[in-house]
Amino acid sequence: MSDNEIEDVSFLPGESLHRRAVYERGIIQRFRFVACTKAKIALGLVLVVLIIIIVALSATIANHQDTEKSSSEKVIENEKQQTTTLTPVSTPNYTATNGQPFPYHNIRLPHSVTPVSYKMYMHPNISESFFTGHVSIICDVNENTDFIVFHAKGLTIMTIKVSDNSVPTNLFGVVNWLEHEDNEQIYVRLMKYLPKGLKINMYIEYNGTLGTLLHGFYKSSYLSSSNEKRYIATTHFEPTHAREAFPSFDEPAMKATFEMTMIRDEQHFSLFNMPLKVSTKLDNGLYQDEFETSVKMSTYLVAFVVCDYKNVSETTKRKIQVRVFAPPDFIGSASYALEVAVKVIDYYEDYFGVKYPLPKQDLIAIPDFEAGAMENWGLITYRMADVLYDRDTASTHNKQNIAVVIAHELAHQWFGNLVTMDWWDDLWLNEGFASYVEYLGTDIVDHDWRMGDQFVTDALLRAAYLDSLANSHPISQPVSDPGQINELFDAISYSKGASIIRMLNNYIGEDVFKAGLVSYLNKYNYGNAQTQDLWSSLSEAASHAKLNTNVTRLMNTWTGQTGYPVVKVTRSRDKMTLTQSRFLLNTSPNAQNGTPSPYGYKWEIPFCYTTQTEPERPVKQLLTDVTATVDGILGDWVKGNCGMYGFYRVNYDPDTWRGIIRQLNQNHTVFSVPERAGLLDDAFMLARVGQLDYSVALDLSLYLVNEEDYVPWSSFLDSIAFLSDRLESKPVYSAFKAYLLKLMMNRLKTISEKDWLKFENISDLEKYLKAAII
412 is in an annotated binding site: yes
| Beta strands across the sheet bearing 155-164 | 155-164, 199-209, 130-141, 113-125, 257-264, 287-291, 276-281
Nearest to 183 by CA among 425, 481, 423: 481
- Give tens-digit pLDDT for 679-717: 999 999 999 999 999 999 999 999 999 999 999 999 999
The pLDDT of 77-97, averaged and rounded, is 61
Beta partners for residue 234, in sequence order: 218
Q: Does the model's pTM come out above 0.85?
A: yes
d(CA 250, CA 244): 10
Residue 33 has pLDDT above 80, yes or no: no
Residue 13 has pLDDT above 60, yes or no: no
pLDDT bracket for residue 59 (50, 70, 90): low
31 versus 137: which is more confidently predicted?
137
Nearest to 156 by CA among 246, 93, 219, 242: 246
Residue 79 has pLDDT above 60, yes or no: no
State in words which class domain 3-80+563-773 has: mainly alpha
91 versus 312: which is more confidently predicted?
312
Sequence ranges of the domains in the chain? 3-80+563-773
Find the catalytic residue in 79, 238, 375, 409.
409
pLDDT bracket for residue 27 (50, 70, 90): very low
In a 13 Å sphere around the CA of 315, the CA atoms on its Cβ side amount to 6
The pLDDT of 737-762, averaged and rounded, is 86
Q: 3-state DSSP call for residue 567?
A: strand
User: What kind and span of H or E run contains 175?
Assistant: strand 174-180
In a 13 Å sphere around the CA of 240, the CA atoms on its Cβ side amount to 23
Residue 274 has pLDDT above 80, yes or no: yes
C-alpha to C-alpha distances, 288 to 117, 307, 535, nearest whole angstrom: 21, 14, 46
pLDDT bracket for residue 20 (50, 70, 90): very low
143 is in an annotated binding site: no
Least confident of 28-37, 45-54, 355-364: 28-37
708 is in an annotated binding site: no
Q: 3-state DSSP call for residue 336?
A: helix
Burial annotation 414-449 (CB, 10 A radius, 16+ → b, else e): bbbbbbbbbbbbbbbbbbbbbbbbbbbbbbbbbeeb
744 versus 82: which is more confidently predicted?
744
- Give tens-digit pLDDT for 601-614: 999 999 999 999 99
Burial annotation 143-156 (CB, 10 A radius, 16+ → b, else e): eebebbbbbbbbbe
Question: Is 708 an annotated catalytic residue?
Answer: no
- Give tens-digit pLDDT for 719-736: 999 999 999 989 999 999
- Give tens-digit pLDDT for 565-585: 999 999 998 999 999 999 999
pLDDT bracket for residue 2 (50, 70, 90): very low
